């Protein structure tokens, strides 16, 4: 049922994009857009993206409001850095760990980080769930701490909105990978990752 709804949403979205491109809302454009959307989805299908959690609308609203706040506050901070007297700010590449399980939600988290002014994600370590972010203002401990607080806050909001523990259902590929690894290999990998984070 969820897959059918997702396909219907994709068809509606592509049809809407088609009508916006033509700049005219009419029955002919709607039918033409639907035909193009069907051709795209049937001839050029995208690989299925596993949906492993559950959407919580109220948490999603809190996430959107917080992102809007970060957009405004970060824009003001970057604008001040551009016009303030003195030397340019000291930038750095900072590493942050995010406890997000789903690749889809991780990609959304990265897009949000890139959308907020003042930083851009340069690299994602998918296996260890680490992101490497170029931060434009990292010249003080306060600035660095503000970056880590912002990432941690976004992480908590993403988990609350999309992948709470009670709603989490790992995809078939993820379950097969965990079963094939065995407990000893998983323990070795976890201890290795812990050692790396401690050294960091």
Tokens of residue 185, six digits? 């290999």
pLDDT at 65: 95
- Higher per-residue confidence, 131 vs 104: 131
Cβ-based neighbour number of residue 81 at 10 Å: 16
User: CA angle 118-116-139, nearest 5°?
Assistant: 20
For 32-41, 43-52, 99-108, 122-131, which range has the lowest pLDDT when averaged over its residues?
A: 43-52
d(CA 30, CA 9): 15
Instruction: Provide the pLDDT for residue 176.
Output: 44
**Rounded CA separation 147/144 (Å):** 5
Q: What is the pLDDT at residue 197?
A: 45
For residue 87, the model assigns a pLDDT of 87
Task: For residue range 83-122, list pLDDT tens digits in order.
Answer: 888 888 899 999 999 998 888 889 899 999 998 888 999 9
14/116 Cα distance (integer angstroms): 27
Q: What per-residue confidence (pLDDT) applies to 172?
A: 61
Answer yes or no: is pLDDT of 21 > 70. Answer: yes
Cβ atoms 94, 133 nearer than 8 A: yes
Percent of the chain with pLDDT over 90: 40
* Overall average pLDDT of the 133-138 stretch: 92
Find residue 125's DSSP bridge partners.
130
CB 10 within 8 A of CB 33: no
3-state secondary structure of 184: helix
């Amino acid at each position: 049922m969820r897959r059918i709804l997702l396909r219907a949403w994709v068809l509606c979205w592509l049809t809407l994009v088609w009508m916006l491109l033509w700049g005219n809302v009419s029955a002919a454009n709607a039918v033409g857009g639907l035909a193009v959307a069907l051709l795209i989805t049937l001839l050029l299908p995208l690989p299925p993206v596993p949906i492993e959690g559950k959407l919580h609308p109220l948490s999603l609203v809190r996430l959107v409001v917080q992102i809007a706040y970060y957009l405004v506050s970060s824009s003001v901070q970057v604008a001040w850095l551009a016009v303030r007297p003195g030397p340019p700010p000291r930038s750095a590449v900072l590493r942050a760990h995010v406890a997000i399980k789903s690749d889809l939600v991780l990609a959304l988290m990265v897009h949000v980080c890139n959308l907020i002014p003042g930083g851009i994600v340069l690299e994602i370590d998918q296996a260890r769930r680490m992101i490497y972010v170029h931060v434009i203002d990292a010249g003080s401990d306060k600035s660095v701490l503000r970056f880590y607080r912002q990432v941690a806050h976004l992480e908590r909001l993403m988990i609350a909105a999309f992948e709470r523990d009670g709603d989490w259902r790992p995809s078939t590929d993820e379950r097969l990978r965990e079963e094939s690894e065995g407990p000893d290999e998983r323990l070795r990998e976890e201890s290795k990752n812990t050692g790396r984070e401690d050294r960091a």
